[in-house]
Amino acid sequence: MDIHSYARPAEARVTNVALDLRADFDRRRLVGTAALSVDRAPDARSIVLDTRDLIIHRVTDHAGHELAHRLGQVDAIIGCPLEIDLPAAAQQIAIDYETSPQAAALQWLSPEQTAGRRQPFLYSQGQAILTRTWIPTQDSPGVRQTYTARIIVPAPLRAVMSAESRTPAGREVPGGRAFEFRLDQPVPPYLFALAVGDLAFRELGPRTGVYAEPATVDAAAFEFADVEQMVTAAESLLGAYRWGRYDLLVLPPSFPFGGMENPLLTFATPTVLAGDRSLVSLVAHELAHSWSGNLVTNATWSDFWLNEGVTTYVEHRIMEELYGTEHADMLAVLARRDLLEEIDRLGGPQSRDTVLHVDLRGRDPDDGATRIPYDKGAALMTLLEHTVGRDRFDAFLKSYFDRFAFTSIETATFLDFLKTRLLSDSKEADSARLRLHEWVFEPGLPGNAMEPKSARLDRVAAAARSCLDDGARGPDTSTWTTQEWLHFLNTLPEHVSIADLGRLDEMFGFTTRGNSEVLFAWLRIALKHRYLAAMPALERFLTRQGRRKFLRPLFEDLMATDWGRPIAQRIYAQARPGYHAVVTSTLDPIVRGA
């Protein structure tokens, strides 16, 4: 049961969505038709869809006869049911509709909000329950659907989707250019995705490439040069890549997430373009979702850890394969620190918000999108691997993706499969030793979690402890990677003076770093100690990119102090119009107290 959808798929379910939409940038609306194919029980009288802020003009059957329909009551979190009467045997319905300019899934950007500053941009973000704000369908991760689309856009722009492109160059049509798409593999609607803009393309490998604005595309092609190799590595670990192409799309800076695993076309933040390929674990992560998430999907948002935990584990394995264990070990140590910090933020190891299988009754699924499903989920996978051995665990993973390919499963199904396929014939792996139930249903990080170790980061930590000592020579940092710099900042002493921070800044130029992760870590330290020399850089960072992971902690830190509060409020008032809806709904309560 998916408590975040009105659909009753046992009675009637959507199996295909055929979109015919025009992107109206002046009115900030998508306008057109969604034709749905319906698989129905013989006695079903109606079908229920999910909507939110949609304007429904007309509903018809395959012969063009109007069908009676009603919109139900609006719920602030899950929106509004659309119930459509189904005459006997009807299997096709067409909905004429348009989206609202406030549709939460759609961000309409003015030219000034893009890298090129010449053309507008539009993109969608469906996860978790936002697709219903741009497509009237059954918006549940348990209801898989194929789709086709024709999207008409203003002539200079190009449309891309999470699907196979049928018209790469588009076709001239009255009033613009039409692009056609088709996805034959059934996926949950949160994976339907569209972007429209001034987009260039660079090939990366035989089945991989990157789209970005012309101003960004060369930097993107450099950053992502290893992507074809990542796909090959993932295939040898998990089985065949079943989607054809794997492309990336680099979005304008206001994209609220790091990445989004839209099928065939990962959406990515430009803040990953560090110039030295040091943040590409993000690509490994989104690519891994081509198996965990897109091929085998969480059936409800309480099972989100199945998507993100398995993916985060696979991400680490892909990184190990490409860049070696030393590098992967550093990533694992950094991830563990993030997890412990997150458990703290969520109220400590007793807090129910640190449970893997999370209770979302009455809550927005976004509330469950913490580091817990990612890093605690991955820690469970790592423990399983070490308990049964890598060979057996790898065979299990492959069989898992084969067995459940193109289905949506709940936590219980995963645990059953795990017990019968992996744990049943090994006494040492019995549930009591693994504490499987505790891992999935109890808060905190169980005591039998493996402890990640990195000799390289241990050396960095020692340097961080001593570099401020009287007369100390600075450490030799000439070979340090981004991960070492992050660990250095993470392990600086709690008590440092403004003068110390000034010295560090002078030695290492933190305030002027272009690497988003390093700058973020430094800005948090600067805020903690009121190191005012970093404030102009902070303001630039808060106004020039819109990634929630960076914005939330920085605004929280500012709001926590009397001196920071007015700064936060001033910057927020200025930057808010440029932020995505998922970001303003996170930040409004923090900065405006609403």
Q: What is the dihedral of CA 577, 580, 582, 586, to 10 degrees?
A: -40
Binding segment for ligand BES among 46-54, 158-166, 167-175, 254-262 (CB under 6 A)?
254-262
Buried b vs exposed e over 423-442: b needs ≥16 C-beta within 10 Å? Answer: beeeeebeeeebbbeebbeb
The answer for residues whose C-beta is within 8 angstroms of residue 357's C-beta and 6 or more apart is 302, 303, 305, 411, 440, 441
- Please name which of 242, 357, 354 lies closest in space to residue 291, comparing C-alpha atoms: 242
Annotate each residue in 309-338 with x if it binds Zn ion (CB under 5 A) or - if it does not, as one string.
--x---------------------------
Nearer to ligand BES, 180 or 375 (CB): 375
177 forms bridges with which residues in the sheet? 153, 172
The least CB distance from residue 377 to Zn ion, in Å, is 10
Strand locations in 25-173 (E): 29-40, 46-51, 54-61, 69-71, 80-85, 92-99, 106-109, 121-124, 145-153, 158-161, 164-165, 171-173
Nearer to ligand BES, 119 or 312 (CB): 312
The least CB distance from residue 180 to Zn ion, in Å, is 29
Whether 6 is a known active-site residue: answer: no
Nearer to Zn ion, 310 or 534 (CB): 310
The least CB distance from residue 289 to ligand BES, in Å, is 6
Whether 172 is a known active-site residue: answer: no
Nearer to ligand BES, 18 or 237 (CB): 237
Nearer to ligand BES, 16 or 292 (CB): 292
Nearer to Zn ion, 135 or 260 (CB): 260
Binding test (CB under 6 A) with ligand BES, winner from 50, 286, 375, 410 = 286
Q: How many angstroms separate the CA atoms of 189 and 141, rounded?
A: 7
Count the site residues for Zn ion by CB under 5 A. Answer: 2
Going by their DSSP bridges, the two strands 80-85 and 54-61 should be labelled as unpaired
Q: Contacts with ligand BES in 298-317 (CB under 6 A)?
A: 308
Q: Determine, following the binding rule CB under 6 A, whether residue 260 of this chain makes contact with ligand BES.
A: yes
Q: Contacts with ligand BES in 113-132 (CB under 6 A)?
A: 127-128
The answer for residues whose C-beta is within 8 angstroms of residue 459's C-beta and 6 or more apart is none
Q: Is 13 left (phi over 0), alpha (psi -120 to 50) or beta?
A: beta
The least CB distance from residue 259 to ligand BES, in Å, is 5
The least CB distance from residue 243 to ligand BES, in Å, is 15
Q: Of 374, 400, 531, 572, which one is the catalytic site residue? A: 374
Count the site residues for ligand BES by CB under 6 A. Answer: 14
Q: Determine, following the binding rule CB under 6 A, whether residue 259 of this chain makes contact with ligand BES.
A: yes
Binding segment for ligand BES among 9-17, 194-202, 256-264, 497-505 (CB under 6 A)?
256-264
Nearer to ligand BES, 119 or 490 (CB): 490
Q: Contacts with Zn ion in 261-320 (CB under 5 A)?
A: 308, 311
Fill in the DSSP letter of residue 301. G
Annotate each residue in 320-359 with x if it binds ligand BES (CB under 6 A) or - if it does not, as one string.
----------------------------------------
Q: Of 286, 308, 320, 484, which one is the catalytic site residue? A: 286
454 binds, among Zn ion, ligand BES, none (CB under 5 to 8 A by kind): none
The answer for residues whose C-beta is within 8 angstroms of residue 61's C-beta and 6 or more apart is 67, 87, 90, 92, 93, 94
Q: Contacts with ligand BES in 549-568 (CB under 6 A)?
A: 549
534 binds, among Zn ion, ligand BES, none (CB under 5 to 8 A by kind): none
- Please name which of 57, 53, 11, 5 lies closest in space to residue 34, comparing C-alpha atoms: 57
Sign (positive or negative) of CA dihedral 342, 348, 349, 355: negative
Retrieve residue 304's tokens.
């989100």
Helices within 427-563 (DSSP H only): 431-434, 436-441, 455-466, 482-490, 498-508, 516-528, 535-544, 548-559
Sign (positive or negative) of CA dihedral 116, 121, 366, 397: negative
Q: How many angstroms separate the CA atoms of 13 and 121, rounded?
A: 33
Q: Determine, following the binding rule CB under 6 A, whether residue 257 of this chain makes contact with ligand BES.
A: yes
Sign (positive or negative) of CA dihedral 471, 476, 481, 484: negative
Residue 44 DSSP SS3: coil
Residue 336 DSSP SS3: helix
Nearer to ligand BES, 24 or 366 (CB): 366
Binding segment for ligand BES among 257-265, 355-363, 426-434, 551-559 (CB under 6 A)?
257-265
Binding site for ligand BES (CB under 6 A): 127-128, 257-261, 282, 285-286, 289, 308, 369, 549
Catalytically active residues, by annotation: 286, 374
Binding site for Zn ion (CB under 5 A): 308, 311
